[in-house]
Structure 1
């Protein structure tokens, strides 16, 4: 498979992101961790950034640094039993739905190709 090395590296990140989603939904999760995770999601979806996305390389770089840092900070605020339960649930789901991660990576690649194609069309006028 073409994307095998990429999928191998993305699999633990996917599992941890899914585990954080499960942990945030758990009643035992402290409100602070929930707010930080919600803030990371809002920052990722918000059109307002510290560095505008139009700035080459740096615009997307702040999203790639700030969002994972906030999510890691939220995960550190989780109680150990909550995190262990959430990781177990995400590992079970990852085994049950093995096609989901390759499908998401494929969608990202198609989206990137379409974005580059659109930019090239705009540049040609």
Structure 2
């Protein structure tokens, strides 16, 4: 499980580094921005409060958009970004659990806030 989380974190960090590169095509930047917006904005195809299906659309759509963005990257940009990502991962091993905890905390707070707003 930890190995899988590290791999996902490495790839996400590499994509972030690649998107800041000026050689990255605009289409890749747009797809990554759409994935981020879809993940963060409260507007979804299926509301998150719908049991299982509400989160399932996020789990399918966001990684698909990110994978499409990664596929449009030039090979030198992707290679350089992956090397940079591995370097950060080696220097900051605490970053993975800290990021996971932060994301889980923010999602919990968001869910609690929505639940309270709908319950009032």
Q: TM-score, normalised by structure 1?
A: 0.81
Per the alignment, do residues 57 and 45 of structure 1 end up closer, same or farther by CA in structure 2, a change over 3 Å counting?
same
Provide the C-alpha distance between the structure 1 equivalents of 2:109 and 2:45, rounded to a whole number of angstroms. Answer: 26
* 1:105 CA displacement: 2.9
Provide the C-alpha distance between the structure 2 equivalents of 1:82 and 1:16, rounded to a whole number of angstroms. Answer: 13
What is the match of residue 53 of structure 1? 48
Provide the C-alpha distance between the structure 1 equivalents of 2:40 and 2:106, rounded to a whole number of angstroms. Answer: 16
| Count of aligned pairs between the two proteins | 116
Per the alignment, do residues 40 and 95 of structure 1 end up closer, same or farther by CA in structure 2, a change over 3 Å counting?
same
Give per-residue Cα distances to partners, 1:9-46, cap 9 Å, x unaligned: 20000000000000000010011111111111111111
Which structure has the bigger radius of gyration? 1
**Counterpart of 2:11 in 1: which secondary structure?**
helix
Matched, 1:88 2:83: yes
Provide the C-alpha distance between the structure 2 equivalents of 1:79 and 1:114, rounded to a whole number of angstroms. Answer: 38
Two-structure CA RMSD over aligned residues (Å): 2.4
* 1:109 CA displacement: 5.4
Structure 2, unaligned runs of 5 or more: none
* 1:110 CA displacement: 5.5
Give per-residue Cα distances to partners, 1:72-117, cap 9 Å, x unaligned: 000000000000000000000000000111222334555677789x
73, 76, 89: which one pairs with 2:68? Answer: 73
Provide the C-alpha distance between the structure 1 equivalents of 2:59 and 2:27, rounded to a whole number of angstroms. Answer: 22
Per the alignment, do residues 54 and 105 of structure 1 end up closer, same or farther by CA in structure 2, a change over 3 Å counting?
same
Q: TM-score, normalised by structure 2?
A: 0.85
